[in-house]
Structure 1
């Protein structure tokens, strides 16, 4: 499938919007994090952030288009993010996913370490669970956590084993979160909901400990 110039520019524009929104929240320390938007499913092609770019700024060389094997589909001097393979795994395992966002925050790193031995972070009864598209009363969710393997194929395989359509995200121990949705709007909503839940839980733990210590 040939990606048109209009499709390319629209995807890059939407990635710009997401990138700047998250950058203002300091969710891209250093040059960390990566973003993608799917352009086609058969064959799989998606726009993804280029490696080593400052995500607080915009430039004409921030993104490129890759295939299901994480290889550029066009001649380019840009390198895809080292973790592009994880985006490909998400799109293959969750065919309804149309965008995938990865950020590093203090909250998601702490939660992933605190609950790594349980292999998931669970929370129940919080209003922002509805932001994940889960509307049942007193709903409980469990966000899977995988080890932070330095070998990206090993990390991608670990993620592929645990992700499901029901929970649109996965934590990597002391690394960050990948969250996805049917489109960039939904992926952003899911990511924001996860981050609120993580921060809420950490503050609740602090308040509970302070109360016990009195």
Structure 2
């Protein structure tokens, strides 16, 4: 369970969420996956009503502080008076909110990693992965199963992008977990998990899988 959404949204919780988001942002900026102000991250603070802490817009992701977050609602709109800063939330906050609501994510990470963008160009209908050991890292069988990383067209309309995500998202079943990632063509990848650590693991594993798929394609 996400450690944030299980407790009241207090000033201390928001401060802790901001520090965690700043640390993860610095990690991905150092890898070149969040160049300049690109990319965004979120953690789910509460479910009813839905509240997320999202990185603020227009800031260098390698230099964020614990104060550089905005509290947003289920539409990705900033919520005044509930903590966080009064900066502008990331433009993609609405998609983060849809992922939190639909997939039950406790955290989501959006980066501009090269393999994801390249893979979407090569396989615009979705990236099929099979018989790769690292698939176990996202809860799927390493052998004998097709795992599809969905790809959707880019849009500046977050409602349209959220609708596209919901159209391709397949929830967990008794025999399989969901696929905790979405590639937006020509843009980047979203990955999520129960908390920031799991979201990070999912992102790193899937980016690695995509690198293998691209390097071995015929």
Same fold by TM-score greater than 0.5? yes
Q: Are the equivalent residues in 1 in contact too, given 2:21–2:66 (CA < 8 A)?
A: no
Mapped to 2, the partners of 1:138 and 1:9 lie a distance apart of 45
Q: Are the equivalent residues in 1 in contact too, given 2:74–2:97 (CA < 8 A)?
A: yes
Q: Residue 110 of structure 1 aligns with which residue? A: 118
Q: Residue 194 of structure 1 aligns with which residue? A: 206
Shift of 1:130: 1.1
* Structure 2 unpaired stretches of 5+: 1-6, 172-177
| Between structures 1 and 2, the one with greater helix share | 1
SS in 2 for 1:196: helix
SS in 1 for 2:77: coil
Mapped to 1, the partners of 2:74 and 2:28 lie a distance apart of 26
- Give the 4+ runs in structure 1 shifted more than 4 A: none
Among 3, 11, 26, the residue aligned to 2:9: 3
Q: Are the equivalent residues in 1 in contact too, given 2:76–2:95 (CA < 8 A)?
A: no
Pairwise mapping of residues 77-156 of structure 1 onto structure 2 (< 5 A)?
Answer: 77-95=86-104, 97-116=105-124, 119-135=125-141, 137-156=143-162
Tell me the TM-score normalized by structure 1. Answer: 0.89
Bigger CA radius of gyration: 1
* Structure 1 unpaired stretches of 5+: 209-214
Shift of 1:184: 0.8
Q: Are the equivalent residues in 2 in contact too, given 1:163–1:169 (CA < 8 A)?
A: no
Mapped to 1, the partners of 2:80 and 2:156 lie a distance apart of 28
Mapped to 1, the partners of 2:66 and 2:103 lie a distance apart of 30
Q: How many residues align?
A: 203
Tell me the TM-score normalized by structure 2. Answer: 0.87
Mapped to 2, the partners of 1:60 and 1:187 lie a distance apart of 19
